[in-house]
Structure 1
Amino acid sequence: MLKPPITRMGGKSKLRKTIIEMIPEHTCYAELFFGAGWVYFGKESSKVEVINDIDKELINLFRMIKYHAPEIERILEYDFSGRNIFDEYKNATIEHLTEIHRATRYLYLTSQSFAGKGGHYGYGTTTRPSPQIFYKDALQSLKERLRNTYVENLSFEKIIEKYDRPNTFFFCDPPYWETAGYGNTFGEKEHLILRNMLKNLQGKFLLTINDHEKVREWYEGFNFKEVEVNYSVSKDKKARGKYKELIITNYNT
């Protein structure tokens, strides 16, 4: 299993083994909300693979790893964890940067910020700085993994419309219901659009989401698997602990 180059809010590091074991036979594998890509980087390659996210900087990062991994390594080779460096990257005008420099900026900010959100410099008295330098073997492995993958930056609706076939499997990890921290608006309207499109799929889907009565109401009639996940990344100790989540599918596992 490969490790993603970044962390993201709601990443599936703790659930990916369970999810991978539940993936049915398919020809085309498509992720609607890619994020850090824990499941994609953890599973065996499919014949056809599609990764998608609406975050342009995230998708640019994976495109640049796919095509320019050595240059990203060269730029970051001698960088270290520093507040001034962090602020320089954070306050840089993206429009004035090349795609490669945008990718290195994104890598640095996510690796050196609290919870990988890129907003505030991460530091502590009991932990070392997070590594922002990626060894050549690691980046090369990621590059090889991305080689035969379609990298998209579209809405989830368009990805479903373009790639839905009887032999397609969609992994769906949308922003959780009534959960803060994702940095984009994904309310009931968006959740219902997603639900309605999943109801009418030609292919199969697996969706991960927090266990909420509203969610259970939306997906009534589908297959539910209840799981518990331990979250430890939070400034507020009260927010840490085990949370119930759902894995929802339109097929039997």
Structure 2
Amino acid sequence: MLKPPIARMGGKSRLRKQIISMIPEHTCYIEPFFGAGWVFFGKEPSKVEVINDVDRELINLFKMIKHHPGEIERLMQFEISSRDSFAEYKKMEINALTDIQRAVRFIFLISQSFASKGISFGYGTNTRPSPQIFDTSNLKNLKERLRNTYIENLSFEEIFARYDRPYSFYFCDPPYYETDGYKDKFDYEDHMMLRDILLNVHGQFLLTINDHPEVRKWYKDFYMIETKVPYSIGKEQESRKKYNELIITNYEVNTDSLKIV
């Protein structure tokens, strides 16, 4: 299993083995909400693979890893964990940078920020700086994994419209309902659009989302598995605990051998 180059809010590092074990036979594997890509980088390659995210800088990062990992590695070997560097990167005008420089900027801001949000500089008195900006040895492996992958920067509804086939499988990890901290807006209307698409999708899907009473109503006609996942998305102790999460599919899953915790 490969480790993604960045962390991301809501990442599936703790659930990916279980999710991968639940993926059915398919030809085309699609992630409409890619994020860090924990599941994608953990599973075996499918015949056809599609990764998508609306975050332009995130998608640019994976494009540059696919095409220019050596140059990213060369530039990042000079970086250090510095509040001043963090502030300088934040002030940079993105449109004045090359795509490779944008990728380096993105990795730095995400890896050196609190909760990987790219907003405020992250530091500690009993932890070392995040290693992502120092260890680039994994980039070549990530490049190989992305070699035969379609990388899209579209809305999720357009991804379904373009790639939906009976042999398609979607791993959907959208922003959680009524949960703060996401960069891109995803409100009630977006959730309803996604639910309506999944009601009529030709392929199969696995959806991960927070356990919310409204969510249970929306997906009451599908298969649903309850689980608990530890998250740490805030400085307060209240934010560092296990949260209820739902795994929802439109196909039956044999849970006898699953270790859902």
TM-score w.r.t. length of structure 2: 0.95
- Indicate if the aligned counterparts of 1:164 and 1:202 stay in contact, CA closer than 8 A: yes
Matched, 1:106 2:103: no
Letter of the structure 2 residue corresponding to residue 106 of structure 1: F
- SS of the residue aligned with 1:201? coil
**Could you report, residue by residue, the CA deviation over 1:106-159 in whole angstroms, capped at 9, with x for unpaired residues?**
001101001111100111101000013354541000000000000000000000
Find the aligned partners of 1:197 and 1:238 in 2 and give their Cα distance: 35
Which AA in structure 1 matches 2:182? Answer: Y
How far apart in 2 are the matches of 1:54 and 1:178? Answer: 19
Rounded to whole Å, the distance in 2 between the matches of 1:45 and 1:84 is: 40
2:145 maps to what in 1? 145
Q: Is the 8 A contact 2:6 2:111 kept in 1?
A: yes
The number of residue pairs the alignment matches comes to 253
- Cross-structure match for 1:227: 227
Whether contact under 8 Å (1:26, 1:168) holds in the other structure is yes
CA distance in 2, matches of 1:134, 1:42: 22
Amino acid at match of 2:153: N
Gaps of at least 5 residues in structure 2 are 254-261
How is 1:25-44 mapped onto 2 (pairs within 5 angstroms)? 25-44=25-44
Identity %: 63
Look up the equivalent residue of 1:105 and give its one-letter code.
Answer: R
- 1:189 maps to a residue whose letter is E
Matched, 1:200 2:181: no
1:245 aligned residue: 245
Q: CA RMSD in A?
A: 0.9
Amino acid at match of 1:60: N
SS for the counterpart of 2:46 is coil
8 Å CA contact 2:107–2:133 kept in 1: the answer is no
Q: CA deviation at 1:104?
A: 0.3
Equivalent residues of 1:51, 1:151 under 8 A apart: yes
Residues 14-72 of structure 1: per-residue CA shift (max 9 Å, x gap): 11111001000000000010000000000000000000000000000000000000000
Q: Is the 8 A contact 1:73 1:134 kept in 2?
A: no
Name the aligned partner's letter for residue 98 of structure 2: T
1: distance between equivalents of 2:110 and 2:74? 18
- How far the C-alpha of 1:233 sits from its partner, in A, is 3.9
2:160 counterpart residue number: 160
The within-5 A match list for 1:41-56 is 41-56=41-56
**Aligned-partner residue type, residue 7 of structure 1:** A
* Contact 1:73–1:133 under 8 Å retained in 2: no
The range that moved more, 135-144 or 40-49, is 135-144
Note if contact 2:79-2:134 (Cα within 8 Å) is conserved in structure 1: no
Determine helix, strand or coil for the equivalent of 2:68.
helix
The 2-side partners of 1:133 and 1:176 are apart by 28
Listed as ranges, the gaps of 5+ residues in structure 1 are none
